[in-house]
Amino acid sequence: MEGVMAVQQGVVANGRFAVGDLRSGFKGASVVNVKGFVKAAKVEAFPRLVTKCTAASSIAEQKGADSSLADVEADGRVFNFAAGPATLPAKVVKQAQEELFNWRNSGMSVMEMSHRGKEFTSIIQKAEKDFRELLKVPDNYEVLFMQGGASTLFSCIPLNLCGPEDVGDYIVTGSWSDKAFKEAKKYCKPNLVWSGKSEKYTRLPAASEYKLTPGAKFVHICANETIQGVEFKDYPEVDGDTVLVADVSSNFCSKPIDVSKFGIIYGGVQKNIGPAGVAIAIVRKDLLGKAQEQTPVMLDFKTHADNNSLYNTPPCFTIYVCGLVFEDLLAQGGLEAVEKRNIEKAQLLYDAIDGSNGFYKCPVEKSVRSCMNVPFTMGTPELEAAFLKEAASQGMVQLKGHRSVGGVRASIYNAMPKAGVEKLVSLMKSFQAKNSS
């Protein structure tokens, strides 16, 4: 019994409830069912892992956005320019750390909660509420937390919007819209109305360069191509019952968007919103219930709409972190303020590239350069390798370009502090000075 009491006391000392089976690692302890908990002092047999959470310090209370260079260095962290999974706001990571062991005095971690319990219900409901507020989502749209990332949604779109013989138009502006187009061939008659492949996806088409199919069920675009660094500034106009669909994975919540212009907006969260594991779909309600007969239940938007995104066990912890990010974005002043900061960061980087007298080159047409993903090259692969090595030594990582493109790519999503971009620009200038002939 001494081992059992030690387990009970240790659980209480950590602010958690001893419920269900406790399998102790202590000598002489047995596997027991403990109901309730015992009020007792902390004992050394079960060391306290974290201080018991009191009222959680909210993101809103930490308002005042960016981390400075000193903040990042003091935390022992790097500037992470990865394309996804990507950097998260430092205060979000710290709050998740604070609440990891005992979420807001619930006695358990979010990772342990029942997805149908009142605790997680409050988490997912608030996440949806804040997301709707951020994007000003109209009431006639559902917000769905799904699994599998945008790649799974590549299948969902044709399966939910059309029959096997129906046409869906695809504007292919980079690697991800190309993948979506190829996946659609399994489920409908996709029509490639424009492709930038012959120009290595360095520009976007003018409306006069393509002709949409009369009667097409939908027109699909990728709003921001993560690999090539091209971003739509304006969106195609569609007529009649044709639905505009956008994959916004890499510029989700980076700027305001008029949701009412689209039938479906979707994206994986692992670039701008949270950890990997969730895709969010904003679906106009009149488009629900039209899935092809063979559509798997988990790929049917109506399944998720009818069950409040809880048809099966969702990635609870990822949704929780997304919710913290939404709080943070609201605290920063909403997407209008976020967009302003993103434009400033991107301009710093593009100015450094354009002002380098050709030492650095961005292949993308200036009018459609991405504010999120900035690709650039140098004279030789050896020079690029030396640059990446020097960047890593200075705490700037994941700058290598995608394997299909090469070069350097800086992903400067919402959570990348301005200080990170400034440090990168400083390196670019000093590296050029050392390596110019």
Distance between CA atoms of 65 and 59, rounded to whole angstroms? Answer: 10
CB 49 within 8 A of CB 14: yes
Q: What is the dihedral of CA 302, 308, 312, 316, to 10 degrees?
A: 140
How far lies 137's CA from each of 128, 133, 305, 340, in Å? 10, 7, 15, 21
**Does the active-site annotation cover 176?**
yes
Distances (CA, A) of 242 to 209, 245, 416: 19, 10, 37
Q: Catalytic residue among 176, 178, 345, 400, which?
A: 176
φ, ψ for residue 16, nearest 5 deg = -115, 160
Among 91, 255, 271, 418, the active-site one is: 271
417 and 381 Cβ atoms separated by less than 8 Å: no
Measured CA to CA, the distance from residue 416 to residue 345 in angstroms comes to: 9
Give the residue from 258, 235, 271 showing the smallest Cα distance to 368: 235
80 contacts 86 by C-beta, under 8 angstroms? yes
Nearest to 10 by CA among 47, 52, 35, 49: 47
Partners of residue 144 on adjacent β-strands: 281
C-alpha 186, offset from chain centre:
27
Could you give the CA distance from residue 198 to residue 82 in angstroms, rounded to a whole number? Answer: 27
Give the DSSP per-residue string, 378-427.
-S-HHHHHHHHHHHHHTTEE--BPPTTT-SEEEE--TTS-HHHHHHHHHH
Distance in angstroms (rounded) separating the CA atoms of residues 147 and 389: 36
Note if 103 is an active site residue.
Answer: no
d(CA 274, CA 242): 32
Query: Which contacts of 55-59 are long-range, i.e. CB under 8 A and separated by 24 or more positions?
Result: 55/104, 56/95, 56/98, 56/99, 56/104, 57/95, 57/98, 58/95, 58/327, 59/91, 59/92, 59/95, 59/324, 59/327, 59/328, 59/331
Please name which of 274, 266, 323, 320 lies closest in space to residue 141, comparing C-alpha atoms.
Answer: 266
Q: Which of 223, 325, 317 is nearest to 277 (CA)?
A: 317
Q: Which of these is catalytic: 247, 302, 345, 423?
A: 247
Give the residue numbers marked as catalytic. 176, 247, 271
